[in-house]
Amino acid sequence: MVQYAALRLPSALLVLVLASVVIFGILRLTPGNPAVVLAGPDANPATITSIEHDLGLDQPLPVQYLRWVQGLVTGNLGHSYVLGAPIATLIARGAGNTLELTVGAMILALLLGLTLGILGATTRNRLAQFLLMVVNTVTFAVPTFISGVVLVLVFAVTIHLLPPGGQLSLLKDPSLGIQFLILPALCLALPVSAVVARFLQTSMRQVLQEDYIRAAVAKGLKRHLILLRHALPNALPPVITVLGIQVGQLLGGAVIVEAIFAWPGLGQLILHAVLSRDYLLVQDLLMLGVLVFIVLRTAAEILQAGLDPRIRLMG
Amino acid sequence: MAQAGAVDIVRVPDRLAFTRNRYLRALQTPRGLLGLGLVGTIVLLGILAPLLTPYSPTFQIRLQELLPPSGTHPLGTDELGRDLLSRVLNGIRVDLIVAVVAVPAAAILGCLAGLLGAAGPGWWDTTIQRAFDVILAFPAIILGIAVAAILSPGERAIVVTILLANVPIFGRLSRDALISQREREYVVAARLIGVSPVRVLFRHIFPNVVDPLIVQLALSMSLAVFLEGGMSFVGIGIQVPQPSLGNLLNEGLPYLATNVNYAVGPMLTLTALVVGLNLIADALNAGVLRR
Amino acid sequence: MAIEDLMQQRVSRRWVVKAGAAGTLFLLTGCTSAANSGAGTSSGPKKGGTLHMAQVPDIIPSGLFGQNFPNTAVGRLVYNTLTEYDHKTLKPNPSLATSWQLAGDGTSLTLELRKDVKFHSGRPFGPGDVIFSIQNIQDPKRASQLRSTAAVITDASGSGSTVKLRLSHAASNLFDLFEIMFIVDKDTLPDMLSGKNLNGTGPFVWKQWNPGDSVALTKNPSYWKPGRPYLDGVELRIIPQAQSLLSSLQAQQTELALGLAPKDYVGLKNNPAFTTQVADTGDAAYYVGCNVKVPPFDRKEVRQAVAYGVDKERILKEVFSGVGNATSIPWPKSSPAYTDTAATHYSYNPNKAKQILQSAGLTNVQAQLAFNSGSPPLSPMAQIVQFNLQQIGITTQTVSYDAAQFIQKLQAGTLPGLWVNVHGFSQLHPATLIVSAFPFNAAKNASNLNDPVYVDLANQAFRASESSAKAVYQKVTDYLLDQQFVIDSVISPGTFVSVNKFKNFTYNMFDYLDFDEAYLA
C-alpha cells in the first residue's frame, strides 16, 4: 500500500501543479484588474499604476506565480487585494457559513427524503403514490433559483414568517439564527431529498421482499416497528452512498442559494472575488477546491488499493 | 463463444431498425408523454412567439411600466413598460438556441475526446481522464463564473460553460462504453474477419453505446436550461435588454412583493421546461437502458 | 383586511421577538407612534444604546481616502477632518482646526489646531498628524479623488499647535480637501488599510470588522466634544441583498438603512414608522458619455442631438422612482455653479434631435452603448437610452461590462461610442469636478476630449478667487453644455431611512455619516 501511495503521489502533485498554472494563467487572461477596482470610478491612471505596483501586479508573471506558490506552500494565503483582509480569515468564515448551510440542508434532506421514501415504499394508495411521484419529479427537477424564489414569495413576502435572506451565526443567537437558516437550507435540500427518497423507495421495496421481513410480519410485529427497526436500517446503505455523492452537488447548489438568500458563504465569496478581479482570493479558493478534490481522490485510490491487491500491481 | 460473436454481428442491422421503435415505446409511457407534452408546448410557444403577441420584447411603452396583467398585456409590463408575455416567449427562444446548439456540440466533442482517449496510447487516455476529473471537480455554476469572468458575461459565456460542463460527461460515458465493448466477442470477431476499424466503430460499436448517450442528451439539455437560468440569475448570463428566462426571473425578483406577475411567467416556463426534459430522460432511462 | 393585518403583525412579531427585549419593546412603541401619526415627543437627547445600521456592500478600508459609498458609513465615525462645511452656505466650520488664515494671494495658509485631542490609542494629536495626512493623500496609491488639490500643497511645517501650508497656486477647492481628508495615525496606517484597526480621533473606536458580515464600533469615552457621542456603540451589518435589507428594516432589526434602492425608499416614504431623507449633497450624477474619437460622436452637433434625444424625466421616474432631479448639468442645486436655465437646457425633444441629425446628413447611425453592470440603476438606464436613441434614428447595441472591466476601459478612453455611468464630485466647488473627476478631467478624460480651451477654463476655475468665481463657473457650464461630451441626465443622491427613535444624525458633504449628536430616543 505504501508502495502504491508512493506511485500515486507524483501524479497527484503533477495535477496540482498543472491546476495551479491553469488557474493562475486563466485569471491573468481576464480583462480588468483589481487595482482598477480599488482605485474607484473617478481615479486617474497614475493612481492605478501605483496601486498595481503596491500589489506587485507590475512584476513579471512568472515572478508573481512563484510568489503565490511560495505563499501557498508556506501556508501564507496572503491578503485579499480588494477587501484588504487576510484570505485565510475570509475563507474560514465563508467555509463556516457554507458548512452551516450544507449541514442544515443535509439534515433537512434526510428528514424529507426518508419520510417521502418510506411513504413511497409502503403506501398502497394509487393516488398517494401518484402524488408522491409528482412531488419527487418536481423537487428533483426544479432548479434552486426557482424553488428559492417560491420559498421567499411564500414564507417571506406573503406570510412574513421567515426572513427572505441574510444570516446570523447559530452560535451567536441560535433561536434567531435558525430562522435565517431554514429557507436557504430547505431550498438547497429539496433536490437532494428527492434523490434520497428515490433511492430509499427502491431499496426499501427490495428489502420488504426479504424473508426476514415476512417472518417478522408472520410473527405479528407491529407494522411501524417492522418498517423502522428492521426494514429501514437494511435499506439505508445505498442511500448513504448516494448521499455522499450528493455532497458535491450541495456545494454547487450553494452558489446559487447563497446568492438568493444573501448567505455569506464560499459561493458569495468566489462570485464577488471573480467580479472584482480579486486574483489572489480567486486563485486560493480554486486551488483549495482542487486540493480537496485531489486529496480525497488519492486517499480513496490508496484505500482501494489497500483493500484490493490486484490494483497494486497496476501503475 | 465465437459463435455468439457471430450472432452479434448478424444482429446489428435489425437492432438498428428496432432502435427507433424502442425510443418511441419508451416515450409512449405516461411519463414520456407528459414530458414530451411539456417540452413540446414550450418549444412551440417559443417558435410561434412573433405570432402570439403583437409587441416586440424590447419595445418600451412610455410611462406604462409595471402594469398588472390585462387583456392587452396578459402578463403585465415590466419596469420599463415592455410587454412581459412577449419577453417570456422570446426568452424561451434564447434558452432553446442555447440548449439546441451547445448540448449536441458538447456531445459530439465529448464523444470525440472519449474516442481519442480510448483509441490512443495509455498516457494520452490518462491525461484526458485527469483533465475531465479536474473539470468535473468543480460544480458547473463555478465553471460558469470563471468563464464569464474571462469571456465577459453573455450568451457566449453560457455556451462555453455548457460545453465545458458536458464534454467530460459525454467523454467519459463514450470512453467507458467503448472500452467495455472493445473486448466483446462480436467486436473481436469483426476485427478478426478483417472489417476496417472505422467500420467496426460506426457499424458495430456505436449502436451499442448510443443508448446511454441519448439519455444523457436529455439530461444535459435540462442541465443547459439550468445553467442559462442560474448564470443569468446571478447576472453573468444573457444580458438585458435581450430577455432570457433566467434574467427575467432575476429582474422580477425585486418586484415579488408588489408585482408578482413579473416573476411568475419565467418561473412557470422554466419549471415546465426542466421538469419536461427530466421526465423524458426518466422515461428513456427506464425504457431503454434498464431493459 | 383587518384580519390580514393582524396576522402579519402577529407573525412578524414572532420573527422579531427573539431579537431581544429591546427589539420587541421597540416594535410596540413603533406601533404606538404609528397610531399617533408621528407626533413628536421632544424629550431631548438620551444617552446610551447601540445603533444597528445596514447596507448592501461591504466597506473597503483602503478606500477611505476618497469618497466611496460603502465607506461613507464608517469614516467620519472613527476619524475627524480639519473643517466641516455648512451644507447650505458651503462655508467651512471648525473641527480639528479651530481657525485659519489665508495669505499671500491664497498661496499660504496657517491653521490653528485643537489642543485637547487624542487618538484612540491615547497619543495626543498634533501638527505632525496633519502633515502626515496631507502627504498620505498626495500618494497616488491612496486613490483620493482630491489628490490633485493636495498636490498644490508644496510645503507643510508645524510647531506648537499651528500648521503652515505653502501652496503652488491658490486653489478654490482647498476646503473640499479638508472636508474629505481624515486625520489618520501614521504608525497604524497599515492596520487601517487592512481594516484591522482604525485609529482616529473620532467619536467611535474601531472594535472589529468581520469582512462580508459586520463592523462593530464602540463609544470613544474621551472624545474631544464634551458629553458626546450619546450612543454607546454602532454596528454596521452588511446585508448583500436589497430585499433582505428592506425586510430587516421593516422588522426593525436595522435602525438605519443606507443606500436603499430608490423603489424601496419610495415605498417607505409614507410609512409613519420610518423617517426618510434624501441627502442634500446631490453627488451622484448619472450621465451618458461620448467618446469624441469615435465617429459620429466626434461631431459636437451629434452629441447635442443625443442630449435632446434622451428622455431624462422618464429615466428619473422609472429608474430612480422620482428620487432626485433630471438635469443637463453636473451641478446639483446646492452648487455655486447651478442655474435653472442651464439645468433645463436639454429637455427631451426627439424631433429637434432628429432634425439635427438630418441636417448633419446622418441617417441610420450605428453605435455601441456600454454600461457598468456593477451599479444597479445603470442597466435600466442604458436600456431607456438605447430605446430613446432608436427613436431618433441611432441604433445602438448595448454592451455590459462588470465594474472592473468598465472602469479599466473608462480610464484608457477605450469605451465604445457611447456609455452610461455615474460620476460624483459635482456637489462642492466646480474645480473639484473638473480637476478630480475623471470623466471631466481637462488634462485627460474618458471622452478623449483634448481641447486647450477647456484646459484653460479648468485652470481658471481651479485658481478662481471668490469674486471671480461666479463668472468663471458660468463659462465652464456654457462650455460643458455646448460640448456635451458628458451628457448629464439625472442627479439622484443617496437616501437614508431610519426608525423614528433614531434622531439627529447628519453627514458631511461627501456623505460620510456623522453621529456626534445622534441618539436613540
Query: A296 falls in which pLDDT band (50, 70, 90)?
Result: confident
Closest-CA residue in chain C for A39? Answer: C143
Helix A2-29 to helix B122-137 angle (10° resolution) is 60
Q: Is residue C265 part of a domain?
A: no
- Kind of pairing between the strands at C233-238 and C50-55: parallel
Q: Element (H or E) spanning C217, and its range? A: strand C214-219
CA gap A33, B155 in Å, rounded: 23
Residue A197 confidence (pLDDT): 93
Reply yes or no on whether the pLDDT at A39 is more than 80.
no
Cβ of A79 within 8 Å of Cβ of C194? The answer is: yes
Residue C464 confidence (pLDDT): 86
E strand map for C248-389 = 256-258, 274-278, 285-290, 325-326, 365-372
Distance from CA of C140 to the nearest CA of A (A): 5
Cβ of C387 within 8 Å of Cβ of B58? The answer is: yes
Reply yes or no on whether the pLDDT at A310 is more than 60.
no
Cβ of A253 within 8 Å of Cβ of B139? The answer is: yes
Cβ of B254 within 8 Å of Cβ of C242? The answer is: yes
Residue A97 confidence (pLDDT): 92
- What are chain A's partners, defined as 3 or more CB pairs within 8 angstroms? B, C
Query: C27 falls in which pLDDT band (50, 70, 90)?
Result: very low
Report chain A residues whose CB lies below 8 A from the CB of B253: 149
Contact C399, C369 (CB under 8 A): yes
- The answer, for A57 touching chain C at a CB cutoff of 8 Å, is no
CATH number of the CATH domain containing B234: 1.10.3720.10
Q: Is residue B111 part of a domain?
A: yes
Tell me which residue of C307, C328, C310, C330 sits closest to C319, measured CA to CA.
Answer: C310
The predicted model gives B266-289 an average pLDDT of 91
Tell me which residue of C66, C400, C149 sits closest to A42, measured CA to CA.
Answer: C66
Report chain C residues whose CB lies below 8 A from the CB of A45: 411-412, 444
CATH number of the CATH domain containing C407: 3.10.105.10
Of C401, C405, C438, the CB nearest to A44: C438
**Cα B80 versus chain centre, distance:** 32
Residue B19 confidence (pLDDT): 54
Q: Is residue C399 part of a domain?
A: yes
Of residues C307 and C61, more confidence is placed in C307
The predicted model gives B131-142 an average pLDDT of 83
ipTM for this model: 0.83
Residue B233 confidence (pLDDT): 86
Contacts of A24 (CB under 8 A, 6+ apart): A61, A64, A65, A68, A283
> How many CB pairs below 8 Å do chains A and B form together?
97
Query: C43 falls in which pLDDT band (50, 70, 90)?
Result: low
Best-predicted range by mean pLDDT (A21-35, A183-197, B145-159, B197-211): A183-197
Distance from CA of B153 to the nearest CA of A (A): 10
CA gap B242, C247 in Å, rounded: 30
Q: Residue B47 to residues B95, C122, C198: CA-CA distances in angstroms?
A: 12, 73, 60
Residue B20 confidence (pLDDT): 59
Helices (runs of H) and strands (runs of E) counted in chain C:
18, 23
Q: For the segment C263-289, what is each residue's pLDDT rounded down to a tens digit?
A: 899 989 989 999 999 998 877 899 999
Distance from CA of B271 to the nearest CA of A (A): 6
Helices (H), C174-254: 174-180, 189-193, 242-250
Closest-CA residue in chain C for A264? Answer: C212
- The answer, for B199 touching chain A at a CB cutoff of 8 Å, is no
Query: B290 falls in which pLDDT band (50, 70, 90)?
Result: low
CA gap C153, C156 in Å, rounded: 7
Residue C31 confidence (pLDDT): 32
Three cell numbers at C256? Answer: 438605519
Closest-CA residue in chain A for B229? Answer: A145
Distance from CA of A49 to the nearest CA of C (A): 8
Q: Is residue B1 part of a domain?
A: no
Closest-CA residue in chain C for B65? Answer: C318
Whole-prediction pTM value? 0.82
Q: For the segment C63-82, what is each residue's pLDDT rounded down to a tens digit?
A: 888 777 788 999 999 999 99
Cβ of C263 within 8 Å of Cβ of B62? The answer is: no
What proportion of chain A, given as a percentage, has pLDDT over 70? 94
CA gap A204, A198 in Å, rounded: 10
- Kind of pairing between the strands at C502-503 and C50-55: unpaired
Query: C98 falls in which pLDDT band (50, 70, 90)?
Result: very high
Cβ of A141 within 8 Å of Cβ of B152? The answer is: no
Helix A279-307 to helix A61-73 angle (10° resolution) is 50
Query: C40 falls in which pLDDT band (50, 70, 90)?
Result: very low
Average pLDDT, chain A: 84
Cβ of B270 within 8 Å of Cβ of A270? The answer is: no
Q: Is residue C75 part of a domain?
A: no
Among A192-196, B15-19, B66-70, which stretch is predicted with the lowest mean pLDDT?
B15-19
Distance from CA of B10 to the nearest CA of A (A): 37
Among B160-164, B241-245, C246-250, which stretch is predicted with the lowest mean pLDDT?
C246-250
Q: For the segment C190-227, what is each residue's pLDDT rounded down to a tens digit?
A: 899 888 899 999 999 999 998 878 999 999 999 999 99
What proportion of chain B, given as a percentage, has pLDDT over 70? 92
Q: For the segment B175-186, what is each residue's pLDDT rounded down to a tens digit?
A: 888 888 877 787
CA gap A13, A294 in Å, rounded: 9
Helices (runs of H) and strands (runs of E) counted in chain A:
14, 0
- What are chain B's partners, defined as 3 or more CB pairs within 8 angstroms? A, C
Residue B110 confidence (pLDDT): 94
Cβ of C408 within 8 Å of Cβ of A51? The answer is: no
Residue C285 confidence (pLDDT): 92
CA gap C423, B59 in Å, rounded: 29
Q: What residue type is A207 in one-letter code?
A: V
Number of Cα atoms under 13 Å in the Cβ half of residue C485: 26
Reply yes or no on whether the pLDDT at C374 is more than 80.
no
Number of residues written out for chain B: 291
Q: Give domain limits for chain A.
A: 95-272
Residue C289 confidence (pLDDT): 96
Cβ of C317 within 8 Å of Cβ of B63? The answer is: yes
Mapping DSSP onto H, E and C, the string for chain B reads: CHHHHHHHHHHHHHHHHHHHHHHHHHHCCHHHHHHHHHHHHHHHHHHCHHHHCCCCCCCCCCCCCCCCCCCCCCCCECCCCCEHHHHHHHHHHHHHHHHHHHHHHHHHHHHHHHHHHHHCCHHHHHHHHHHHHHHHHCCHHHHHHHHHHHHCCCHHHHHHHHHHHHHHHHHHHHHHHHHHHHCCHHHHHHHHCCCCHHHHHHHHHHHHHHHHHHHHHHHHHHHHHHHHHHHHHCCCCCCCCCCCHHHHHHHHHHHCCCCCHHHHHHHHHHHHHHHHHHHHHHHHHHHHHCC
Q: For the segment C107-131, what is each residue's pLDDT rounded down to a tens digit?
A: 999 999 999 999 999 999 999 999 9
Residue C162: other Cβ atoms inside 10 A: 13
Cβ of B58 within 8 Å of Cβ of C373? The answer is: no
Q: Element (H or E) spanning C207, and its range? A: strand C204-210
Of B145, B149, B229, the CB nearest to A145: B229
Contact C519, C504 (CB under 8 A): yes
CA gap B171, B124 in Å, rounded: 14
Report chain C residues whose CB lies below 8 A from the CB of A94: 212
Look-up of cell digits 468535473? B136
Cβ of C398 within 8 Å of Cβ of B241? The answer is: yes
Of residues B55 and A243, more confidence is placed in B55
Distance from CA of C144 to the nearest CA of A (A): 7
The predicted model gives C17-39 an average pLDDT of 32
Of C11, C143, C401, the CB nearest to A43: C143
Q: For the segment C459-502, what is each residue's pLDDT rounded down to a tens digit?
A: 999 988 878 888 999 999 999 999 999 999 999 988 999 999 99
Q: Element (H or E) spanning C162, and its range? A: strand C162-167
Average pLDDT, chain C: 87
Cβ of C243 within 8 Å of Cβ of B254? The answer is: yes
Three cell numbers at B131? Answer: 483533465
Three cell numbers at A234? Answer: 437494511
CATH code 1.10.3720.10 for A95-272: yes
- Kind of pairing between the strands at C204-210 and C162-167: unpaired
- The answer, for A98 touching chain C at a CB cutoff of 8 Å, is no
Residue A42 confidence (pLDDT): 63
Report chain B residues whose CB lies below 8 A from the CB of A274: 145-146, 148-149
Closest-CA residue in chain B for A150? Answer: B267
Three cell numbers at C384? Answer: 431607456
Mutant choice from C141, C402, C420 vs A, greatest count of A C-beta within 10 A: C141
What proportion of chain B, given as a percentage, has pLDDT over 90? 44
Residue C26 confidence (pLDDT): 34
Of residues B200 and C120, more confidence is placed in C120
Mutant choice from C320, C375, C381, C383 vs B, greatest count of B C-beta within 10 A: C383
Distance from CA of B261 to the nearest CA of C (A): 17
Reply yes or no on whether the pLDDT at C349 is more than 50.
yes
Reply yes or no on whether the pLDDT at A314 is more than 50.
no
Number of domains in chain B: 1
Q: Determine the structural domain holding residue C383 and report its residue range.
A: 285-491
Q: Determine the structural domain holding residue B271 and report its residue range.
A: 24-289
Q: Residue A117 to residues A131, A132, A186, A197, B278: CA-CA distances in angstroms?
A: 13, 9, 17, 4, 19
Please provide residue A86's backbone torsions phi and psi, each rounded to the nearest 5 degrees: -65, 135
Among B38-52, C128-142, C374-388, C427-441, which stretch is predicted with the lowest mean pLDDT?
C427-441
- What are chain C's partners, defined as 3 or more CB pairs within 8 angstroms? A, B
Q: Is residue B9 part of a domain?
A: no
* Bond into B241 cis (ω within 30): yes
Residue A223: other Cβ atoms inside 10 A: 10
Q: For the segment B22-49, what is each residue's pLDDT rounded down to a tens digit?
A: 788 888 888 899 999 999 999 999 999 9
Of A159, A179, A264, the CB nearest to C212: A264
Distance from CA of B254 to the nearest CA of C (A): 7
Reply yes or no on whether the pLDDT at A215 is more than 70.
yes
Number of domains in chain C: 1
Cβ of B137 within 8 Å of Cβ of A290? The answer is: yes
Of residues C16 and B241, more confidence is placed in B241
Residue A27 confidence (pLDDT): 81
What proportion of chain C, given as a percentage, has pLDDT over 90? 62
Q: For the segment A230-261, what is each residue's pLDDT rounded down to a tens digit?
A: 888 888 887 887 777 777 677 778 889 998 89
Q: Is residue B18 part of a domain?
A: no
- The answer, for B133 touching chain A at a CB cutoff of 8 Å, is yes
Report chain C residues whose CB lies below 8 A from the CB of A163: 15, 244, 247-248, 251
DSSP at C120: T
Residue C42 confidence (pLDDT): 54
Of C143, C240, C411, the CB nearest to A262: C240
Q: For the segment C391-423, what is each residue's pLDDT rounded down to a tens digit?
A: 999 999 998 887 778 888 887 888 989 999 998
Of residues A115 and A169, more confidence is placed in A115
- The answer, for A90 touching chain C at a CB cutoff of 8 Å, is yes
Cβ of C318 within 8 Å of Cβ of B240? The answer is: no
Among A275-279, A308-312, C247-251, C271-275, which stretch is predicted with the lowest mean pLDDT?
A308-312
DSSP at A154: I
